[in-house]
Amino acid sequence: MTIAILIRDFYPQNRPSGVISCLNELLPNLNNGQAGQIIILTNRKHGEKEIYTHKGITILKISQYNIVKYISVLKPFSLKKVFIISSISRGNALFLWWYLVTLKTKNKAVFYQTTNLRLKINVIQKKIRGFLIKKYDKLIVTNKSLYEEISSYDTNQKIHIVYPGTNIPARDARKVCKYQTVSFVGHWSLIKGTDIVLKLSTLLPQIKFQIIAGIGKNPKDKYLYRKYVQNKYQYSNVEAIGYTRKQLKYIEKSDLFILPYRTGEGVLGIAQSAIEAMALGIPVLSTKNSSIEEILQHGKNGYICETIENYRNYILKVMNDNALYEKLSQGCLKTYEDNLIAKNKADEIVRILQNEDI
C-alpha cells in the first residue's frame, strides 16, 4: 500500500520554507516502513526534472493545477491514503485543488495545516474554506491557535495537534556565552521583524548579530533589504547571510536566538528555526505570537519581549550571567526532548494515518 504526500513545494528546495524543513525532518521516520511506501507529489518549477529521489523516496514533479496529470500519476498506485501537507495561509485555491485531487482518486485524505492562517477573510471565503475542510477524512494542525480556528468551522472530524520537530542529537546544556552572538533566521521582512534586529545591533555594538535570511517578495520587504545594503556601514556588527542549507552551522555558533515577529499569521505553526535553536540548547527571545508561544516559557527557556528595550535588556542579562544562561539552556533541551523530537512527531502522524486513535 502507498501513501501519497501532496505538498506545494519540496525538494530540491530544502530551504527557505519552514514547512519544507518540517517535512524534511519527518521523512526519515515516516519512511521506516510503518506507514507503507511513500511517494511525494509537488509543484514542478522551471528547470526542474520530473522525478527526484530524496532520502529513499520518489518525488514526482508536476505542473501546479494540472489535475489530469496528478490523477494519471496516482492511478497506478494502490493508495492507502493521501496525506496533504498545507502551507496555505490565505485564499482557497489550493484547498479546492487538493480536494479535487482526492475526490477524483477516490481516496480518503488526511489534511495537515502547518502554517498559521491569515484571519482576515470575508464571509464567502470563510464559508468556502469551511466546506472544503469538512471534506477531509482527518485533520492535523501544528498549534492550539490553528486548532481553535479550524474548530470554528464546526467540523465533525477529530482535530489532532502535532508540532513540527527536528532530529538534532541530544547534547549537554551550554554553560557560557562564548560567541557573544545573536542569530535570527527568516526573511528580510517587516512581519518577521528584521528591522528590529538591525535596530538592536545599533544598541548593542559589542555583540555580533547574524541575519540568516533571504529577501521577501513584498516591495516593502525588498526596500528593507536595500536600505540595509545602502547603510551597511552603520551595521558593522551584523553578518548578513543569505539562505543556506547549512544554517544549523551558523545557529550553533551563536549564544541566543531571536524571533521578533510582529505576528504569527502566515508563519509555520511552531517556528522551525526556534525548534532547532532549542534543540541546540540556545535560549530564544521572541514576541508573544502564535508561532512560538506554546513552546517559549518566559524565564525557563528564553524570554517574551514586547519592546526593543526588552530585547536589549534580556540579551545583556543572559550574556552576563552564566548560571542563568545554563538554566535557560537546560530548559531549551527539556522542551525539545519533551515536545519537539521529529521521530516522535512522525510516530504520531503514522498512527493517525493508520486510523489509530491518539
Position 175 in a domain: no
Position 172 in a domain: no
Q: Are residues 298 and 243 in the same domain?
A: yes
Q: Are residues 335 and 347 in the same domain?
A: no
Position 117 in a domain: yes
Cα–Cα distance for residue pair 264/281, rounded to 1 Å: 23
Average pLDDT over residues 154-165: 89
pLDDT grade for 46, boundaries at 50, 70 and 90: confident
Q: Are residues 70 and 127 in the same domain?
A: yes
pLDDT grade for 341, boundaries at 50, 70 and 90: very high
Q: Are residues 335 and 192 in the same domain?
A: yes
Kindly list the strands in the beta sheet with 37-43, ordered across the sheet, starting from the edge strand earlier in the chain: 51-54, 57-62, 37-43, 2-7, 79-86, 109-113, 138-141, 159-161
Q: Are residues 9 and 49 in the same domain?
A: yes
Cα–Cα distance for residue pair 171/112, rounded to 1 Å: 30
Q: Tell me: the pLDDT tens digits for 168-187?
A: 998 999 999 999 999 999 88
The CATH number of residue 60's host domain is: 3.40.50.2000
The domain in which residue 193 lies consists of 181-339
Specify the number of domains making up the chain: 2
What count of Cα atoms within 13 Å lies in the side-chain half-sphere of residue 54? 20
pLDDT grade for 27, boundaries at 50, 70 and 90: confident
Bridge partners for 3 per DSSP = 38, 81
The type of residue at 49 is K
Position 358 in a domain: no
Contact 319, 204 (CB under 8 A): no
Average pLDDT over residues 241-247: 86
Lowest mean pLDDT across 3-12, 227-236, 340-349: 3-12
